[in-house]
Amino acid sequence: MSESVVVHDGIDESKRRWVAITCGAGAVAGVATAVPFVSTFAPSERAKAAGAAVEVDISDLKMGEKKTVEWRGQPVWIVRRTPEQVAALGKDTAELADPDSKRNPDEQTPPYARNEHRSIKPEVLVVVGICTHLGCSPGDKFSAGAQPSLPADWPGGWLCPCHGSTFDLAGRVFKNKPAPDNLRVPPHVYMSDSKLLIGEDKA
């Protein structure tokens, strides 16, 4: 083997090549070893399995009231809006960032809620109560009019306590607020007039 040794400036090219190959192979092994460790960060099978649809009875939900249920660890709000509140949704849409829910419709608004009231039944709103900015749960500000942290012409809706994003009673975000999207309407379906299934589109 010694006759094939090429030496430049005291460097044995053959040894140098083997060092490079060994380092390369070592790096590949290192990355391969890191894969299972990084993978452990992903949600476990148990976390993935927990996400079943939730059944809610809304027969006791009165006009202008809200009910909160837990779905996938998140609050889902069901609000029975008054006829005046539903009628008000058509006004002042100029103040809203995305009145027609055109942004990210596949994630935020299922086809049956792509309307002005963002719901199947005009009076019953079903939204995930998590702000689309950084995931706080906005607080109820249902009464209209001026109040702290809200504009004088407040139509009623929600105020996020974390960064001040505001949403109207259809979960639509107002302009110039940190939240980019309207509140998410989860997949849901009416099993009967007063029974809702949240988490699935088809009963």
Partner 1 sequence: MSEFKVAPANATAGVKLLTWVDNRFPASKLWKEHLSEYYAPKNFNFWYFFGSLALLVLVIQIVTGIFLVMHYKPDAAQAFASVEYIMRDVPWGKLVRYMHSTGASAFFIVVYMHMFRGFLYGSYRKPRELVWIFGCAIFLCLMGEAFMGYLLPWGQMSYWGAQVIVNLFSAIPFVGPDLSLMIRGDYVVSDATLNRFFSFHVIAIPLILLGLVVAHIIALHEVGSNNPDGIEIKDKKDANGIPLDGIPFHPYYSVHDLVGVAGFLILFSAVVFFAPEMGGYFLEYNNFIPADSLKTPPHIAPVWYFTPYYSMLRATTDDMLKVFDVLVIVAAVLALWKGKFGSTAKAVIVVASLIVLTGFGLFKFTGIPALAGCDAKFWGVLVMGGSVVILFFMPWLDQSPVKSIRYRPDWHKAVYGVFVVVFLILGYLGIEPPDPLKTAMAQVGTVLYFGFFLLMPWWSQMGTFKPVPDRVVFHAH
Residue 94: DSSP 8-state: G
Q: Is the dihedral of CA 38, 42, 46, 48 positive or negative?
A: negative
Residue 143 in tokens:
């009464």
How many Å apart are CA 6 and CA 193, to the nearest integer? 86
Stretch that binds partner 1, among 17-25, 34-42, 110-118, 184-192 (CB under 8 A): 34-42
Q: Does 80 interact with partner 1 (rule: CB under 8 A)?
A: no
Closer residue to partner 1, CB minimum distance, 120 or 136:
136
Which residue from 20, 23, 47, 87 is in contact with partner 1, where contact means CB under 8 A?
47
Residue 4 binds partner 1, judged by CB under 8 A: no
Active-site residue flag, 117: no
Is residue 187 close enough to count as binding partner 1 by CB under 8 A?
no
| From candidates 21, 26, 175, 201, binder to partner 1 by CB under 8 A | 175
Which CB atom, from 12 or from 70, has the smaller least distance to partner 1? 70
75 part of the interface to partner 1, by CB under 8 A: yes
Provide, rounded to whole angstroms, the least separation between the CB of residue 200 and partner 1. Answer: 16
* 64 within 8 A of 142, measured Cβ to Cβ: yes
One residue of 99, 110, 138, 157 binding partner 1 per CB under 8 A: 138
Q: What is the DSSP letter of 147?
A: B
67 binds partner 1 (CB under 8 A): no
Alpha-carbon distances, residue 6 vs 9, 13, 158, 173, 180 (angstroms) = 10, 6, 76, 71, 64
Q: How many CB atoms lie within 10 A of CB 25?
A: 10
∠ Cα 141 139 147 (to 5°): 35
User: What are the E-state strand segments in 38-119?
Assistant: 54-57, 66-71, 74-80
Q: Give the pair of three-digit tokens for residue 37.
A: 């460790």
Q: Which residue among 117, 133, 163, 188 is the active-site one?
A: 163
Q: Does 195 participate in binding partner 1 (rule CB under 8 A)?
A: no
- The least CB distance from residue 51 to partner 1, in Å, is 7
Catalytic positions are: 163
Interface with partner 1 (CB under 8 A)? 38, 41-44, 47, 51, 68, 70, 72-75, 129, 133-139, 148-149, 160-164, 175-180
